[in-house]
Copies of this chain bind each other. A is one copy, B any other.
Amino acid sequence: MEFKVSKELIQQLEEHIVNKNDKELEVLLNDLHHADIAEILDELDFDEATYIFRVLDSDKTAEILLELEDDLRENILSRLSPKEIAEELDELETNDAADIIGELSQEIKAEVISEMLDVEHAKDIVDLLRYDENSAGGLMGKELVKVNENWNVLTCVKEMRIQAENVSRVHSIYVVDDENRLKGRLSLKDLLTTSTKTQIGDIYIRKLNFVNVDTEDVEVARIMQKYDLEAIPVVDELGRLVGRITIDDIVDVIKDEADKDYQLAAGITQDVESNDSVLELTKARLPWLLIGMVIEIVASFVLKGNEEIFKLHSTLIIFVPLLSATAGNIGVQASAIVVQGLANGTLKEFSRAYFTKEITVSMISGSIISLLLLGYHSIMYQQYLVGFAISISMIVVILFAATLGTLVPLFLHKNKIDPAIATGPFITTTNDVFGIMLYFGVAKLILGV
């Protein structure tokens, strides 16, 4: 039941654009959801997309604008006059409008705001612009339904009808005092089931979750997830109700946060998408490659320093890739579980019990791998002492990698650095170097070189 962009539709649209059949374009697109139209525009080139954009109504285009990919939105905005942009913004909710304005240059921003027809709306948007975009203030919208604790249900419903005119979805009905300080919320259910003469003060729910304008976005996400909230009110320093955040904006925060961890784990230092430019992609990827290179140069020194022993026992060197890959894998597994534990709160800090468990898991895996390796080496090369040296080194390296994989993310977390770094190339390459050192160290000891 989900809409999919078809090649035929794109062709049809392109023909209509060439022939300037505005009516047919409207007919084709008018029934579609704005998110679907955005998907279509993303498939067209900039000129075609802009053409369609101008054909459609501004109540539709405003919503489309929000869903477009960054480069297309930027391109379309650059072709619109401040007055045209202002018309789009008049149609949008305050937080979405503020996001769009945030992408404009300083001078156009001022012009656009001065062109907006709805002055109250413009004021609300300007108000939102002063908050940090990663704070509750930066996420919140101004659209909400609030009632005074001193009203009765009838006044309340009357007032709500007026307020609801400007609000697309009624999430919660907030209760404030005469100073606009947040006191609680009114349940829609209670409103539907209570007599109209009841005083709001008697039926509102006093306990409710709220955040401050400067609460961090990830903190807001955690609170909304934990308490299963669909909207959360935002108060200022004086406890006055200034806005609300809805779950759909938080879903984006949650997803971005998970994507960021995933990208860090893959050795990508900043948020990129597959349609970003070559320059952006390279900038996001090169740093870890270079850091990895520097760390691995240390590995080359270690190997150079051990040339004697692997000239003597040549099978030692051929297992170096196996050893470092295993160390890398164990380290990444260990740290990924710590990173996720920290993210979802099941792990808070270093605990001996957890560490013991991790070491046990690694010991089991390490022993199995070492035994298999010992068997394989004995059969293939019949140098039992060397095989023994390799197996023992393997266990040592695995335990070391597990320890590093567990402790590094905990250390990073304690020092307020994103622990997901530790699931990336950093931990693999570091394990490589230490792994190779330990390997030859243990081998020398056992083989008595």
Contact = CB atoms under 8 A, between A and B. Distances in A.
A18 interface: no
Contacts of A33: 207, 227
A193 B215 CA distance: 35
Contacts of A365: 282, 285-286, 289
A311 B283 CA distance: 38
Contacts of A357: 278, 281
Given A222-B2, A303-B321, A262 B272 contact: no
Contacts of A82: none
Contacts of A268: 333, 336-337
A61 interface: no
Q: Chain A's interface: helix, strand, loop or mixed, by majority?
A: helix
Contacts of A296: 321-322, 325-326
A2 B223 contact: yes
A447 interface: no
Interface in A314-348: 314-315, 317-322, 324-326, 328-330, 332-333, 335-338, 340-341, 344, 346-347
A69 B346 contact: yes
A376 interface: yes
Nearest to A63: B228
A385 interface: no
Interface string A210-223: 11100100010011
A274 B189 contact: no
A165 to B, nearest CB: 7
Contact of A293 (B293, B372, B429): B372
Given A365-B289, A369-B290, A263 B325 contact: no
13 contacts: A225-B248, A258-B262, A266-B337, A267-B329, A274-B338, A278-B361, A286-B368, A290-B368, A292-B325, A293-B325, A300-B322, A321-B433, A325-B428
